[in-house]
Amino acid sequence: MKRLAALALFTVLAASVNAQEYKVGDLTVQNAWARPTPKGAKVGAAYVTIENSGKTADRLMSATAEDAGMVELHETTMAGGVMKMRPLPNGLEIPAGGKVEMKPGSYHFMLMGLKAPIVAGAPAIKGSLTFEHAGKVDVNFAPMAMPASEHAH
């Protein structure tokens, strides 16, 4: 019973960490999380959802994560039954009045040169996002297991 109670508390705490919302200009950033990595891995992935309530598009240009030497914005696509991943050197457009959800199998941040493995439930990874028009916003990527809804990707 104690384990069940501890698991329930952990789930609530993880959800509350992931429920943080960040605002910069007309943009709202939410659901910032990082996927756990195997021990010794030097590369990981992180995700966010960005909503633009403004009347003009903006562009996510770059990101940082204090536990990574470098962060790149990437896109994963399927072509001829082969999954391909490529960097987005010109950033990612956030359409006016629209929303972009970064998730496994789609847009994501590649965290390269990790200083330590990403462990579910560990303290959040401090980082920042820089947008072409709205500017810079600090975020915390909550290390957590991939949501069940994403396992199908």
Q: What is the pLDDT of residues 45-80, one digit of tens each?
A: 999 999 999 999 999 999 999 999 999 999 999 889
Categorise residue 148: left if φ over 0, alpha if ψ from -120 to 50, beta otherwise: alpha
pLDDT of residue 25: 97
pLDDT of residue 96: 98
Check: CB of residue 27 under 8 Å from CB of residue 58.
yes
Half-sphere exposure of 28 (CA within 13 A, CB side): 11
What is the pLDDT at residue 146?
72
Mean pLDDT of the chain: 88
Decide if pLDDT at 15 tops 70.
no
> Helix or strand or coil: residue 24?
strand
In angstroms, rounded to a whole number, what is the distance separating the alpha carbons of residues 15 and 33? Answer: 10
pLDDT score of 91 more than 80: yes
Q: Which domains does the chain have, with CATH numbers?
A: 2-145 (2.60.40.1890)
